[in-house]
Amino acid sequence: MDHCRLRSVLLKLENRLSNGDRQRFHFFLGDDVPRRVRDDATLHGTLAVIDCLFDQDKINERDFTYLIDAFEEIECFNAAHLLREYQQELQLQGLNQSAQSLGSILLPGTRRILPDLLDDQDRDEAIEETDAITLNKFICETASWNDDQDVNATPSYKTKNCRPSSFPWTYIFVTLFMFTALIAVGTLASVLIWKINQISLYEEKLNALYNQNREILSKKLGKTFGGNHGGSFDDSLTDKFTFYHYLNGMQGTPHGEVLSYIRFSYSSLHNENNTIMSPIHGLNDLSKHSQSFMLAKDERIIAVHVYVNKHTDVVNDPSNDLNIITGLQFFTTLRRSSPIFGEASGERFVEEFHGASLGYATGKYGPFLNQLQFVWYQA
């Protein structure tokens, strides 16, 4: 039943994945699954990927931490949260079964031992008689010592002729056993309470982190500038790019020349020094000079000017005029502006959103920068 239950949870999870989530998930798994399965980013392909993970025993009915880690790494917190909830449910079931097992061991044992102790009273009396002789000897000596100390005092212990008397060893054995059982049950209860509190605290922190990420960094897609030709790029797929990275600089063709390439850098909200570079978008002629612009700490880009013009692609069709990006300029929260990358020629577009800062860029390129679309983070 655990196997069917996990698959049911995974089907619910599938409904929460976008096409982009599937592509990032398949890409993240890499060589852990065959490429022919990994390249199919449809619902059928994702189910086949998960089946491969079952077959390789990377996940099973009781342990699917591999999936949780994968979804957290690609910033798909909704899916990771669903699996965490099911994992906590399994842990609570395990603790409850442990408590029931301990109870089933202790209680029947108590029922068996108590009658044996009471039925063997006669057998124990022989042992008690021997032990009582030693005990009474001590009592007599104590009473004699008290009489010597105060002849008018009544001895605290008095035994006629210091004869052996019976002592309740059975009662002591039963009491010790029950006391030990109570300690064991109390310890287990304390562990259960501590574990439940830990799970609640972890779930609370996870929910807080999920809500914080969802509220602070909600995405907003900007307008698509330029034409629809060339190879595609998406900087959010850059190696080590996370949900916390934002665009904090760029390097490209200097002002006054044809914009042949642009390259963006990204810094993390968690670590300003953790900067990664995107691939070069366009055709970079290393023999030419380039210019760059970098943000300061806590500085963000809040507006972009995009220049778009027609360009004749002589190689394919001289009569076909294609839109390309001819120039770019960026404006920041510190009222700074970058130099213009490329030429300020053609039609100028201004893009900005109230309360939003620039997150990352996507688009298309060939020998030139053919298309740009920016993704903004709404605070």
| pLDDT tens figures, 253-289 | 888 888 889 999 999 988 877 899 999 998 876 556 7
Whether residue 329 has pLDDT greater than 90? yes
Q: What is the pLDDT of residue 372?
A: 96
224 and 359 belong to one structural domain: yes
Name the domain count of the chain: 2
Q: Give the number of other CB atoms < 10 A from CB of residue 195.
A: 14
Domain membership flag for residue 125: no
Q: Is the whole-model pTM more than 0.75?
A: no
* SS3 call for 329: strand
Above pLDDT 70, what percent of the chain?
73
User: What CATH number is associated with residue 362?
Assistant: 2.100.10.30
Domain membership flag for residue 196: no
Contact criterion met (CB below 8 Å) for 378 and 294: no
Domain membership flag for residue 71: yes
Q: What is the pLDDT of residue 249?
A: 96
- Which residues form the domain of 14? 3-97
Q: What is the pLDDT of residue 215?
A: 43
Name which residue leads in pLDDT, 310 or 319.
310
Name which residue leads in pLDDT, 98 or 317.
98
Any residues with CB less than 8 A from the CB of 329 and at least 6 apart, and which?
304, 305, 337, 338, 339, 340, 341, 344
Question: Of 133-137, 235-239, 337-341, which range is least confident?
Answer: 133-137
Domain membership flag for residue 328: yes
Name which residue leads in pLDDT, 111 or 340.
340
| pLDDT tens figures, 67-124 | 888 888 888 887 878 888 888 887 777 665 665 565 555 545 545 554 554 455 555 5
| Residue 258, amino acid | V
| pLDDT tens figures, 211-229 | 555 444 578 999 999 988 8
